[in-house]
Structure 1
């Protein structure tokens, strides 16, 4: 009985760990499109099925830690990029491991784009697609592991 219970607990822990990785929730390193170096760390959280993401670290060598979003046009105008919510309102698509319907902000140009998040490679990477009228770009973020 104890062996069966222990085996069930171990299986549940492994199953939960695998499932938890196939989600955008967690810490991610964004990669600069041009230089391919780590740009920032973003933490994505789930609040009742709605995802949001904040910049928690600016990691580029030349990053200004006091940078503000002077090109933003919404409530984030002139606010610090460090700590800024750049992902808002994404929800899981029914029957798919895709989160969409939200917006992602590029603090460098102040523009918000329609968002789609797709975990790949078992949740080790995240395809982040920002678009306007179907035209956009996809970045691949890397999950931060401790």
Structure 2
């Protein structure tokens, strides 16, 4: 009986952990350290996707900017509403094997996403090009 209860608890923990990044996250500009955008992460058909829901005001940015440098179906689409995260799969510890686009340069990267184990309000988002990668930390939105 203890084994069954322990198994159910572990199963619940794994499912809860997988779901924990669902919601809205604030992206931070690498150069300025200022809030850049809000991204909503959501599940569809057991995969993780994300779209920009808000752009923080920035001096010099045109109104309703578009993804001018994107080269796929996102080309010239408005940034607000743009699906930037696509098709990540849960591996039991993180979301991986999907893609993320950087709307500023139009480049698409292989992607992995996971919650910080010490601070559940932080999400690590890593984009890969071959063996090279860059990791950003997004902050859980409470706004």
TM-score (ref. length: structure 1): 0.81
Structure 1 position 21, deviation (Å): 8.6
Pick from 116, 128, 135: which aligns with 1:138? Answer: 135
1:101 corresponds to: 97
Structure 1 position 48, deviation (Å): 2.5
Contact 1:39 1:58 (C-alpha < 8 Å) held by counterparts: yes
TM-score (ref. length: structure 2): 0.82
Structure 1 position 64, deviation (Å): 3.3
Contact 1:21 1:122 (C-alpha < 8 Å) held by counterparts: no
Structure 1 position 50, deviation (Å): 0.5
Once residues 77 and 110 of structure 1 are traced to their aligned partners in structure 2, the CA distance between those partners, rounded to angstroms, is 8
Pick from 23, 28, 48: which aligns with 2:25? Answer: 28
Contact 2:84 2:100 (C-alpha < 8 Å) held by counterparts: yes
Count of matched residue pairs: 130
Q: Based on CA coordinates, which of the two structures has the bigger radius of gyration?
A: 1
Provide runs of 4+ in structure 1 moved above 6 Å. none
